[in-house]
Structures are given as C-alpha cells and as structure tokens.
Amino acid sequence: MLRVVIDTNVIISALTFGGNPKAVLELARKRHIRNTTSTFIIEEIGRVAVIKNLPDNRILECAVAGGVDYLISGDHHLTDLKNFGTIKIVTPTEFLAIFYHE
C-alpha cells in the first residue's frame, strides 16, 4: 500500500470544491492508500479555514517522519520541488494518474 501525506490545501480543496482532491481523500477513506498525518496538520486544517497560511516545512517534516512515498499537494511552493529526498511531491491529478497506472 502506498503511504502518503495529503497536504492541508488538498484536504481543504476536497472539502470545499471536490474534484481530484476529493478523489484522493476517497482513496484514503477506502484504505487504498495510507495517509500519514500529524496533530499539526489536523490543527492547520482548522486554522486554514480562517487564515490562509501554509507552513511548508511542517508538511515536509510530517512526510519525512512518516516515511511516505508521496506528498500530495496543490501548493506550488511544494510541487515545484518535485522531490524531497526520496519523497515524490505531486499534485492530486498527478497522484491519481500514478495510482491508477501502477
């Protein structure tokens, strides 16, 4: 099973707009992928609903600590990196293409 970190902005987008971010959350809900999260990310979801400020370093820290394969994000500050060590950083659309073709 692939292990991932779903970035806060993907979760907020899924809950607000649906689309591919929602499809990614559904994969986690149905246990087709294993999402790794932290107290910080859960608290951030609440903060982001009020104020848009994404601390990318904390997302990367969670991904490293969780030993994930992918970090799924819509934040171009992260997706522009492409990789962080062995962690692949992809958009929800890219992740769905990878997941359904593996």
For the stretch 64-98, pLDDT in tens is: 999 999 999 998 888 989 999 999 999 999 999 99
Answer with the residue of higher pLDDT: 56 or 1: 1
CA distance 39 to 26: 21
With the CA atoms of 27, 33, 39 and 43 taken in that order, what torsion angle do they form, in degrees rounded to the nearest 10?
A: -20
Cα-to-chain-centroid distance, residue 6: 2
Q: What is the pLDDT of residue 56?
A: 78
Q: 22 with 14: CB under 8 angstroms?
A: yes
Instruction: Provide the whole-model pTM.
Output: 0.69
Q: Residue 53 — very low, low, confident or very high, per pLDDT cuts 50/70/90?
A: very low
Q: In the sheet that 83-84 helps form, which strands lie side by side, from edge to edge?
A: 33-35, 2-6, 70-72, 87-90, 83-84
Q: Is the model more confident about 50 or about 18?
A: 18
Helix 92-101, helix 19-29: angle, nearest 10 = 50
**Alpha-carbon distance 34 to 44, whole Å?**
20
pLDDT band at 50 (very low <50, low <70, confident <90, very high): low
